[in-house]
Chains A and B, each alone.
Chain A
Amino acid sequence: MDSLLHWTEQLLPVAGWTALTVGFYLLAKRVYRRWSRWWLMPLAVAPALLMIAVLALHESYRDYIRGAGWLMLMLGPATVAFAVPIYEQRALIRRYWPVLLVGMVAGSATAVAVSWGLASLFGLDESLRLSLLPRSISTPFAMEVSADIGGLPDLTAVFVVMTGVLGAALGDVVLAWLPVRSALARGALLGVAAHGAGTARAHQIGPVEGSVAGLVMVLVGLLNVCLAPLLVSAARLAAG
């Protein structure tokens, strides 16, 4: 009887916070479908509603994550899911991989340089600056890189998500302004700059854009994990 009570106590927050997270997400999606404003993006609205709920119930971030944190683990199988569109666009990728590689390296270098430059300009402290560096790659990679280079992984996760939300919205603006005609460039733009959220947007624009964004997102993450040790020595050198 006691153990049953114990189990209920353990399961209740998991069920409750998970249901609330999924519920707010579905609601936010419906709202966005009705009024498509960029600031109504589900990735902005759902967390905002949840934050209000957490604060209203006098709970903490730790209570919430203990309940709904397992949802973040599902980014693992979501990464596996990219195998399908990548496989289906293999002919395209085989043909254009040098172009995509050049774009990825240029984009990643820009991400690191601009983040570091502006963060230094604003006088942010070192752990914050390092946490900002891997923000344009997808969460699992970014947290890995952040830990490697001496940033704070949970902060990096927040920056990654902010980058995704803003990136998916900014993507439309940039695509309207820049003279990019090829689907390859449109996909790469969203995949390199706005990882998962950008890729989701790219899938809405078209199948080629979506596959390219998914591939590029994964490869940029990989590239950054491999280059992280180099990155940190460069950053240290720049910091003097």
Chain B
Amino acid sequence: MTAHALARQLRIALRRSRLVQIGLLVGFWLAGEAVVRLTGLPLPGGLVGMAAALALLGSGLVRAGTLRRGANWFLAEMLLFFVPAVLAVLNHREFLGLLGLQILLIIVLGTLAVMAVTALTVELCCRWGIGGHGQPSALD
């Protein structure tokens, strides 16, 4: 009875605390890294952790509420973790000239092309009813 009540309290605390949930997500990632190290899978550890989290959510062993607040924090602040990567430019001063402009142009044109192709492909597939069981898209 008391053990039961304790477990309940713990679950409520888990659903409220963002910090604990962030810790849980880090735990999933570390476990994923460990699996990758041990098995030599050519995948990032975070992806293995995500697959594990999805499996647990899908099987009902973990409820979405247990991870939601932590996950929302990571998704909202993700850009912070990209910031240090940009400073690698400091090691490549050659990009400050014509080469940098060429690369910028490649990235801009490439990205525009990818966006147009992806969006139009998905849009046309939706309109023609492929994969949507022949119904028009309900997502307009």
Which residues of A are interface residues toward B (Cβ below 8 A)? 21-22, 24-25, 42-43, 46-47, 50-51, 54-55, 60-61, 64-65, 68-69, 71-88, 90, 95-100, 102-104, 106-107, 110-111, 114-115, 118-119, 122, 124, 132, 135-136, 139-141, 144, 148, 154-155, 157-164, 166-167, 170-171, 174-175, 178-186, 188-189, 192-194, 196-197, 199-200, 203, 208, 210, 214, 218, 221-222, 225
Contact = CB atoms under 8 A, between A and B. Distances in A.
B57 A104 contact: no
A158 B88 contact: yes
12 contacts: A25-B83, A42-B79, A50-B83, A74-B80, A82-B75, A90-B58, A99-B126, A144-B44, A166-B107, A181-B137, A189-B119, A222-B47
Contacts of A65: 84, 87
A102 B121 contact: yes
B130 interface: yes
Contacts of A71: 80-81, 83-84
B126 to A, nearest CB: 5
Given A77-B22, A85-B71, A103 B82 contact: no
A186 B119 contact: yes
Contacts, number: 310
Task: Please classify the interface of chain B as helix (H, G, I), strand (E, B), loop, or mixed, using the class held by over half of its residues.
Answer: helix
A182 B140 contact: yes
A122 B102 contact: yes
Nearest to A141: B44
A25 B78 CA distance: 11
Interface of B: 22, 25-26, 28-29, 32-33, 42-47, 49-50, 53-54, 57-58, 64, 67-68, 70-72, 74-76, 78-92, 99, 102-123, 125-126, 130-133, 137, 139-140
A124 B82 CA distance: 26
A103 B47 contact: no
B114 A79 contact: no
B7 to A, nearest CB: 22
Nearest to B69: A84
Nearest to B131: A98
Given A61-B91, A114-B109, A80 B121 contact: no
Contact of B82 (A88, A155, A164): A164
Contact of A83 (B54, B116, B120, B132): B54
Contacts of B140: 181-182
Contacts of B74: 74, 77-78, 80-81
B83 A51 contact: no
B111 A166 contact: yes
Contacts of B25: 77, 80-81
Contacts of A197: 79, 82
Contacts of B45: 76
A50 B50 CA distance: 31
Nearest to B110: A114
B105 A225 contact: no
Contacts of A115: 106, 110
B92 A155 contact: yes
A214 B45 CA distance: 17
Contacts of B118: 103-104, 106-107, 110, 185, 188-189, 192-193
A188 B110 CA distance: 16
